[in-house]
Each structure stands twice: as structure tokens, then as C-alpha cells.
């Protein structure tokens, strides 16, 4: 016998979850940042420091502390993520380890207090209040649209992936010991750090094949955030007349598109003709965590990417208006 409610019950649950997410995202205060373009977003983020001063005096040289007495900035910063947000998120299904950790600093070392399976908000709040434990939440942009907007624009600005994590520590407590941001990557041997892994990887690449810039750009397109459109998601739906052979195309999402000339990937012959590939990140998923699992990978372990291909003689047709 079919379950009571059947498909209608499932649709009701999905609608309820969407309403919860909408409620969570609508709680953000008026933005104190400029989203006109990627550069203006970055400029407003480091204001009053000028961009040229930042890259000349601070970038990869020393820390920058940005302070403001503007109550609008304070309210906006607080609204980006709060402990109360986790109550709604836990009801949607969060998991220890994959979505976050709860930990304390004991005798100068990090002690992880994770339970098994799903996170229960009441238990989480109890550990926070009574054990004075720190809550670490991974990639909150999956649920908070304002953080999605900020990180997507920063990815456009820097041409590299941008992630975020939330750490909430009770007053008078310490969640983490003093440390550098190098991540332990091997559970079997926790003494191996990311920096040593990267050195070995670099040495391996030096003796294998040339790492092309197009490969790195493609990897970025595959894994980056999609554009944050809010209620204007219809702009991703194709419409209007098809371009003619002499048409000039204006890309609506230039920062989310990569055009590359490379050997034909579908032809295994020794002599492969060059093809024009157009990759885009418009249909990437924003709700997939960048730690734990990789839902963008196919069965053979390769990442899936949205693209189209043309023979090289069509390259002259791929002309874009500024």
C-alpha cells in the first residue's frame, strides 16, 4: 500500500523546507556593502583602506584589521550568521564532521566533542552553554544568501575559490589553541599537514606533465559558486532569437564563463584536432559543502562541468561584444 499522503506529502515537506530557508535568508539587515560589481564589493569590504594600498602594503605581508563605528555595519555583520540560525538549520538535517564540529581547547590542545550522526540543536546548545564549547560551522553560504552573494563576487574579483566558516565561542572560553591555518588532511597520520602534501604534489607535477593554466581555470569554473540571482532566476532561461552567423554575442555572466582552445577530448586518436570549448558555472550547486563529500564528481571520479564544443574554424564566430 502507498504511504499516507504519498507525493503530496513529499511536496509539502519540500515547500516547508523552502519556506524555512526563505525565512532564514530574509532576516538579513540592509547591506552595508556595494554589490554593483566584484571590484566595488571588495572595495567596500576593506573600506576605508584603498584597494591599491591594500595590495601594496598588506597583501601577503601583514594582517589588516578593519574597524567601523557605523551602527549599520554592526547590524549587517551580526545578521550574516547567528547562533539562533542553527536552530532552523538543524531541523533541515546537519551532520557532525561534514557540516561542522563542536570543540574545546583543553591543556593547549583542540578536543573535538562531536556526537554521531545528525546534529540535535538542544544538545548543541547544551554543549555551548554548559561545556563552553566552540561551534564550528562549515560553508554557511549554502544557507545564507547574503554570504553567497559576497563570496560569489569575491570569486569573480580574484578568480579563485572563496570559502567561509563560522566559529561561535562562549564568552570567557577558548575553542582553539593558537595555530596556523594549515589543515590536517590524513586521518591515519594526523601529523601530515596540507603544506607538506602540497610540496609533494608540486614535486610530482614537476616530473609528470605541464600544468596548463586552462586546466586550473576549468577546475575553478567546475567548483565555484553559481551567480546569486535571488528572485531573478528566470534570467538563466534561454529566450529571444537565435544569433545569426554574423551576430555579436554579449555574455550576461562573463565571470562565470571560460572559452578554451584545446585538443578534442572525445577523440582518442594520436592526432587530435583542436576544438573550442565553452565552459560555464551557471548550473553549479551552491548547497553542496566543499568539505567531506564531492557531489560534482562522476562515477569515475572526474568532475562534471557544463560545456559545449565547436570545431576550431568556428572560433571567429565566437566574438563577444564588450
Instruction: Report DSSP letters for 270-310, one per residue.
Output: SS--EEEEEEE-TT--SSS-SSS--TTB-TTSPBP-EEEEE
| Blockwise average pLDDT, block size 10, the chain, 322 residues | 47 48 55 90 92 91 86 88 92 93 91 94 95 94 92 91 89 80 37 48 55 74 85 70 76 84 72 80 75 45 62 60 40
For residues 59 and 61, give the distance between their C-alpha atoms in angstroms, rounded to a whole number.
5
The residue extents of the domains of the chain are: 6-32+70-168, 180-211, 212-226+245-289+301-322
Non-local (6+) Cβ contacts of 20 within 8 A are 88, 91, 92
pLDDT in the model for residue 161: 87
Q: Which helix (H) or strand (E) holds 148?
A: helix 145-158
pLDDT in the model for residue 78: 87
Tallying the residues shown for the chain, one arrives at: 322
pLDDT in the model for residue 111: 92
3-state secondary structure of 140: helix
Q: Is the CATH code 2.170.120.20 the one for domain 6-32+70-168?
A: no
**Among 185, 321, 300, 190, CA closest to 254:** 321
pLDDT in the model for residue 7: 45
Which one-letter DSSP state was computed for residue 142?
G
Half-sphere exposure of 318 (CA within 13 A, CB side): 17
3-state secondary structure of 190: coil
pLDDT in the model for residue 64: 87
pLDDT in the model for residue 96: 96
pLDDT in the model for residue 141: 92
Decide: 102 and 112 in contact? Cβ < 8 Å: yes
pLDDT in the model for residue 66: 85
From its phi and psi, is residue 108 left (phi > 0), alpha (psi between -120 and 50) or beta? left
pLDDT in the model for residue 251: 78
Amino acid at each position: 500500500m502507498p504511504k499516507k499522503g504519498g507525493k503530496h506529502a513529499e511536496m509539502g515537506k519540500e515547500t516547508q523546507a523552502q519556506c524555512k530557508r526563505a525565512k532564514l535568508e530574509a532576516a538579513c539587515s540592509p547591506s552595508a556593502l556595494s554589490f554593483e560589481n566584484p571590484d566595488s564589493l571588495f572595495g567596500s569590504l576593506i573600506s576605508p583602506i584603498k584597494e591599491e594600498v591594500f595590495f601594496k602594503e598588506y597583501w601577503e605581508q601583514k594582517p589588516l584589521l578593519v574597524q567601523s563605528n557605523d551602527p549599520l555595519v554592526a547590524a549587517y555583520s551580526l545578521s550574516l550568521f547567528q547562533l539562533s540560525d542553527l536552530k532552523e538549520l538543524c531541523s533541515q538535517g546537519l551532520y557532525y564532521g561534514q557540516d561542522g564540529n563542536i570543540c574545546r581547547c583543553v591543556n593547549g590542545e583542540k578536543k573535538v566533542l562531536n556526537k554521531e550522526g545528525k546534529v540535535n540543536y538542544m544538545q548543541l546548545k547544551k554543549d555551548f552553554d554548559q561545556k563552553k564549547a566552540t561551534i564550528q560551522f562549515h560553508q554557511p553560504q549554502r544557507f545564507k544568501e547574503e554570504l553567497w552573494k559576497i563570496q560569489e563576487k569575491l570569486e569573480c574579483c580574484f578568480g579563485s575559490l572563496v570559502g567561509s566558516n563560522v566559529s561561535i565561542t562562549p564568552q570567557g572560553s577558548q575553542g582553539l589553541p593558537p595555530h596556523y591555518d594549515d589543515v590536517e588532511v590524513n586521518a591515519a597520520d594526523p601529523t601530515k599537514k596540507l603544506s607538506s602534501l602540497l610540496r609533494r604534489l608540486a614535486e610530482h607535477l614537476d616530473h609528470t606533465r605541464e600544468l596548463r593554466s586552462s586546466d586550473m581555470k576549468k577546475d575553478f569554473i567546475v567548483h565555484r559558486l553559481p551567480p546569486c540571482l535571488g528572485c531573478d532566476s528566470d534570467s538563466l532561461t534561454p529566450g529571444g532569437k537565435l544569433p545569426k552567423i554574423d551576430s555579436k554575442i554579449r555574455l550576461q555572466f562573463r565571470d562565470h564563463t571560460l572559452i578554451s582552445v584545446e585538443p578534442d577530448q572525445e577523440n582518442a586518436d594520436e592526432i587530435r584536432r583542436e576544438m573550442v570549448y565553452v565552459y560555464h558555472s551557471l548550473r553549479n550547486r551552491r548547497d553542496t559543502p566543499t568539505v567531506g563529500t564531492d557531489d560534482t564528481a562522476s562515477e569515475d571520479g572526474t568532475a562534471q562541468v557544463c560545456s559545449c564544443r565547436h570545431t576550431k574554424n568556428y572560433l571567429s564566430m565566437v566574438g563577444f561584444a564588450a
